[in-house]
Homo-oligomer: A and B are copies of this chain.
Amino acid sequence: MALPLRLSTDRLFPADGHTREIARVLYREVCKLPIISPHGHTDPAWFASDAPFGNASELLLQPDHYLFRMLYSQGIALSDLGIGPGGGHTDPREAWRILASNYHLFRGTPSRMWLDWVFAEVFSIHVRLTEETSDLYYDTIAEALAWPEFKPRALFDRFNIEVLTTTESPLDTLEHHQVIRTENAKDGGWPGRVLTAYRPDPVIDPEFEGFQANLDRLSELTGEDCRTWQGYLAAHRQRRAFFASMGATSTDHGHPTAATADLPPAEAEALFADVATGRATPAQAELFRAQMLTEMAGMSLDDGLVMQIHPGSFRNHNAPLFEKFGRDKGADIPVATEYVRALRPLLSRYGNEAGLTIILFTLDETAYSRELAPLAGHYPALRLGPAWWFHDSPEGMRRFREQVTETAGFYNTVGFNDDTRAFLSIPARHDVARRIDCGFLARLVAEHRMDEDEAAEVAVDLAYNLPKKAYRL
C-alpha cells in the first residue's frame, strides 16, 4: 500500500505552539504575494517558445545537480541517470526509478521538500515517491505535461510570478528575450515579465574556457576593438546598454574570490594588454578580475544596473568527472572567502555612493556575522543577498537571519533569490523562504523583541518590497 504524501499547512513553522500561532498569522500576510524572482537560471527559450516540457526525468532529474550529485555520492553512475555523453541511451523511466528507489537519501534535505511540493501541488500526486510508486509518478507526470495547463507560460501564470530574471552572457543575442518582449507588446499577448541579467564572466575571467575567442566574438558583436583596453570597456558599456534595453536591471559576477582592485589607468591598461594576448599569469588573471569588479561598479553608477557579486566556489573540483561530463555536475565546492580586505579597493572608490547598489553573496557562512553584516551595516552601496546555494535551505536561511540581522538589520538585505534552473520548484523555494522568515519573526515576537505589527510589515518587505526595491524592478 502506498504511503501518503501530505504537505502540512504548518510546515517549517517553529514547533512551539504560541510561536507557531504567530508565524501562521504573519504567513497569512505574505503567502499570496506575487513572486519576485530577481536572480535565477531558467531558460528563456521555454517562455519564448512555450513548448511543452518532456518527461519527469528530463524535467526534474537531469537538469538538477542537487539531485544527481546526491545519488552520485552514493555510488550511482551518472550515465544510469541519463546524464553525460551516453545520456541519450538511458530510458528516462529507468532513470526516474533510480531516483524513486533512492528517495530516502534526500530525507532532511531541501531537495526533498521542493520535490514533494512539486509532486503534490503541481501534479496533485498524494502518495510518497518510492520504488513501488515510481511508474505511477512517471506516468502521471507524463500525462500532465501534455496538457496546456502545464506549458511554461501557463505555469508561470499559475505560479503568480510577477517578474522572473534569467542570466545571460554579454555574447548572448537575447533573441528569446526579444521574442518574449514582442509577445508582451502584442495586443492580448502573454504579459509574463521575463528579464535578463548581464553576466560577463566569460569575457572578464581570463581563465574561462574560450576566453580569447570570447573577446573576438565581443568585438564582432559591438564593433569595438576588444583587444584594446578602451575598446574592451566600451564594448561592455554597449552590451550593458543593450541588456538594459531588453529589461535587465542587474549584473552578476561569479568570481572565485571577492578580490577587487583599483589600479591607476595606465596599470590597468598594461594588465589588460597581457590578458588580451593570453599571456596573463594566474596572479594577473586574479588581478584582472579584481580590477573589473571596480570597473563594473563604476559603470553601474552610470547606467543604474544593480551589481551582484557571488564569490567563493571552487568550480569543477572533480577533475576526472569534469573531463568526462563537463561543468555543473555537482562538483563545485565552497571555500573560505575573505571580504574585508578584498572589497576595500572597490569600496574606497565607490562604497559611499548611495546611488549604487552592490549585492553580496557568500558560500562561507562564517562571513555573515564577522564581515558581511558589519560591511553592509555601514557602507551605503552594500546590501546582502540571501542565503545562497548550499545554504538556501531551512537551517541555512535561519542561520542567515540569526547571524545577520542584529548588525545589518532587515533593511540591508534584499529578500529571497531562488537562483534555480528548476522552474517547477520556484514557488516551493519562495514559500520555504517566506515560512522561515515568518518563523524567525515569530520568534522575535514571542520573545518580545519585536511587536507583531512591525513583524507583519517586515514579513511583507522581505517577501515583496525589498527585492523589488533592491533590484529596481
A373 to chain B, nearest CB (A): 7
* Cβ A395 vs Cβ B390 within 8 A: no
A245 at the interface (CB under 8 A from B): no
Answer whether A335 and B340 are a contact pair too, CB < 8 Å, given A69-B378, A74-B380, A347-B318.
Answer: yes
* Cβ B107 vs Cβ A458 within 8 A: yes
Stretch at the interface among A182-190, A202-210, A283-291, A439-447: A439-447
A91 at the interface (CB under 8 A from B): no
* Cβ B11 vs Cβ A449 within 8 A: yes
* Cβ A108 vs Cβ B394 within 8 A: no
A336 at the interface (CB under 8 A from B): yes
Answer whether A317 and B344 are a contact pair too, CB < 8 Å, given A104-B457, A366-B370.
Answer: yes
A473 to chain B, nearest CB (A): 19
Chain B residues contacting A108 (CB-CB under 8 Å) are 405-406, 409-410, 444, 449-450, 458
| Copies of the chain in the assembly | 3
A19 at the interface (CB under 8 A from B): yes
Give A74 to B409 CA distance when docked, in angstroms: 11
Complex: chain B residue closest to A383, CB-CB: B73
Give A348 to B6 CA distance when docked, in angstroms: 42
**Cβ proximity bits A386-414 to B, threshold 8 Å, 1 near / 0 not:** 00001101111000001101111111100
Give A449 to B336 CA distance when docked, in angstroms: 30
Answer whether A335 and B390 are a contact pair too, CB < 8 Å, given A15-B446, A409-B70, A410-B107.
Answer: no
Give A360 to B8 CA distance when docked, in angstroms: 36
Chain B residues contacting A128 (CB-CB under 8 Å) are 451
**Cβ proximity bits A94-109 to B, threshold 8 Å, 1 near / 0 not:** 0000000000111111
Chain B residues contacting A410 (CB-CB under 8 Å) are 107-108
**Cβ proximity bits A7-25 to B, threshold 8 Å, 1 near / 0 not:** 1101111111111000000
Q: Which A327-380 residues have C-beta < 8 A from chain B?
A: 330-336, 338, 340-341, 344, 347-348, 351-352, 354, 363-366, 369-371, 373-380
* Cβ A412 vs Cβ B352 within 8 A: no
A319 at the interface (CB under 8 A from B): yes
Give A373 to B410 CA distance when docked, in angstroms: 28
Complex: chain B residue closest to A440, CB-CB: B108
Give A69 to B394 CA distance when docked, in angstroms: 30
Give A318 to B348 CA distance when docked, in angstroms: 6
Q: Which A432-473 residues have C-beta < 8 A from chain B?
A: 443-444, 446-451, 453-454, 457-458
Taking a contact as CB atoms closer than 8 A, the residue among B18, B319, B378, B393 that contacts A73 in the complex is B378
Taking a contact as CB atoms closer than 8 A, the residue among B72, B333, B369 that contacts A374 in the complex is B333
Complex: chain B residue closest to A352, CB-CB: B320
* Cβ A406 vs Cβ B411 within 8 A: no
A3 at the interface (CB under 8 A from B): yes
Chain B residues contacting A363 (CB-CB under 8 Å) are 370
Chain B residues contacting A369 (CB-CB under 8 Å) are 365, 390-391, 396
Chain B residues contacting A332 (CB-CB under 8 Å) are 374
Chain B residues contacting A409 (CB-CB under 8 Å) are 70, 105-109
A261 at the interface (CB under 8 A from B): no
Give A449 to B116 CA distance when docked, in angstroms: 10
* Cβ A411 vs Cβ B335 within 8 A: no
Complex: chain B residue closest to A375, CB-CB: B333
Taking a contact as CB atoms closer than 8 A, the residue among B365, B380, B443 that contacts A75 in the complex is B380
7 contacts between A and B (CB under 8 A): A11-B448, A17-B18, A73-B380, A109-B409, A321-B352, A333-B378, A336-B366
Q: Other CB < 8 Å A-B pairs besides A69-B378, A74-B411, A373-B390, 15 of them?
A: A15-B447, A16-B16, A69-B377, A70-B377, A73-B379, A107-B454, A109-B409, A331-B378, A334-B371, A365-B370, A369-B396, A370-B390, A390-B406, A393-B406, A395-B405
